Amino acid sequence: MTDSVTSRRQLLTQGAALLGTTSAGLMLPQSALAQSGKIRVGFMLPYTGTFAQLGVAIENGVRMAINEQGGKLGGREIEWFKVDDESEPSKAIENANKLVQRDKVDVLIGTVHSGVQMGIHKVARDSGVITLIPNAGVHIATRAQCAPNVFRTSFSNSQPTMALGEAMVKRGHKKAVWITWKYAAGDEAYEGFKESYTKAGGTIVKELGLPFPNVEFQALLTEIAALKPDAVACFFAGGGAAKFLKDYAAAGLKGKIPLYGSGFLTEGVLDAAGPAADGVLTTLHYGDGIETKRNKEFRLNYAKTFKLQPDVYAVQGYDTGLLLVQGANAVQGDVSKKSAMIKAMEVAVIDSPRGKWTMSKSHNPVQDIYLREVSNKENKVIGVAAKALADSGAGCRM
């Protein structure tokens, strides 16, 4: 990555040279500047904290999709910028502005954490910068505050759990405890779970929570043991998910009270969690074991390139890259043609390792949700829990 100050100066000089002048460079309109150099793409992702691995997997996925196109977007080279958002909502607006105002990115890719996404969303709506959400599922970004320049390539927070409750009731678990981190992602995952579980005839006996990214689960696990529900359902992710799985087993609950979750629970953590994850059932828009040529090739190439097993975050990053390629190709790399680029992304069909998906009217994936079971350090697909599931997009007017 080039130092942003140097690269900006280079860009100005290049722009000025194009006009045959050296002093008028600063007067160049932004669109001329943008076209004269590389396409500027900024990552705002967590590179530290409980979601650090998720940020890395997303960046890897994006780069892999673009490298498959010769490392270019619509024929133009790319200059990359990076900000570690630390999954810290209070710094989100400032961090997003480092990319948008300081680095003048043409495209912003971010982020993982729903609270941080709200800061990015404000900056995206105020600036009009093309923004691709590679994970954070916060509902409002593709509902009441949907925006033409903002696209999500991942899921809305209630999408993965919308199919979870029914799968639990079908297995005879009619009384459940729900447990999560108390912030937008956990609360909205609960909305999906509650709807599907109660509709299928289940009763939620208790809703438990702790603040993000706290991992002191002990008191809550003791409470679960005392409540003796038929099953437990949860939302956790990243480092905290690995710890929850291990603590659940260590508390003696594994094998006694079946554990279910939004599929993030078992993504990217199977090595860390070890046998504690075995047999856990989850619902998600991806599964390692999807038996398609597309998925198998993706997994092989990702593992070869990054010396890591891909997970849902790598897939979401990859799909973000695929979407960006389609948008940039439609305008031959002239990303200043925003409305043409947006139109191309709205009608894109993403040929993803998760299966083909399309964008809803509110810019959120319409996608299948799989039922998965952990076995031998793999999220095995054991069924399709929901076909072509769309978020409601409630309140979105575009």
Binding positions for ligand PHB, rule: CB under 6 A: 112-114, 135-138, 157, 185, 237, 264
Consecutive H or E run containing 225: helix 218-227
Nearer to ligand PHB, 236 or 357 (CB): 236
Residue with tokens 């009270």: 257
Q: How far is the CB of 58 from ligand PHB (least distance, A)?
A: 11
Nearer to ligand PHB, 74 or 317 (CB): 317
Nearer to ligand PHB, 123 or 138 (CB): 138
Q: How far is the CB of 136 from ligand PHB (least distance, A)?
A: 4
Cα→Cα distances 39→42, 211, 363, Å: 10, 39, 23
Q: How far is the CB of 339 from ligand PHB (least distance, A)?
A: 28
Residue among 367, 364, 397 at smallest CA distance from 150: 364
Residue among 249, 189, 244, 227 at smallest CA distance from 369: 189
- Listed in order, strand segments (DSSP E) in 60-211 are 78-84, 107-109, 130-133, 150-152, 175-181, 203-210
Nearer to ligand PHB, 16 or 112 (CB): 112
Q: How far is the CB of 66 from ligand PHB (least distance, A)?
A: 23
Nearer to ligand PHB, 114 or 149 (CB): 114
Q: How far is the CB of 364 from ligand PHB (least distance, A)?
A: 13
Q: How far apart are CA 125 and CA 332, in angstroms?
A: 25
Consecutive H or E run containing 120: helix 114-127
Q: How far apart are CA 190 and CA 178, in angstroms?
A: 8
Q: How far apart are CA 147 and CA 125, in angstroms?
A: 7
Q: How far is the CB of 263 from ligand PHB (least distance, A)?
A: 9
Q: Which two tokens stand for residue 342?
A: 């947006």
Nearer to ligand PHB, 169 or 234 (CB): 234
Q: How far apart are CA 270 and CA 252, in angstroms?
A: 19
CA angle 176, 180, 181 (to 5 degrees): 165
Nearer to ligand PHB, 113 or 254 (CB): 113
Q: How far is the CB of 157 from ligand PHB (least distance, A)?
A: 6
Nearer to ligand PHB, 60 or 157 (CB): 157
Nearer to ligand PHB, 138 or 348 (CB): 138
Q: How far is the CB of 135 from ligand PHB (least distance, A)?
A: 6
For 368, residues 6+ apart whose C-beta sits below 8 A from its C-beta are: 285, 354, 355, 357, 384, 386, 387, 388, 389
3-state secondary structure at position 44: strand
DSSP 73: B
Q: How far is the CB of 187 from ligand PHB (least distance, A)?
A: 10
Residue among 162, 175, 232 at smallest CA distance from 202: 175
Q: How far apart are CA 50 and CA 240, in angstroms?
A: 6
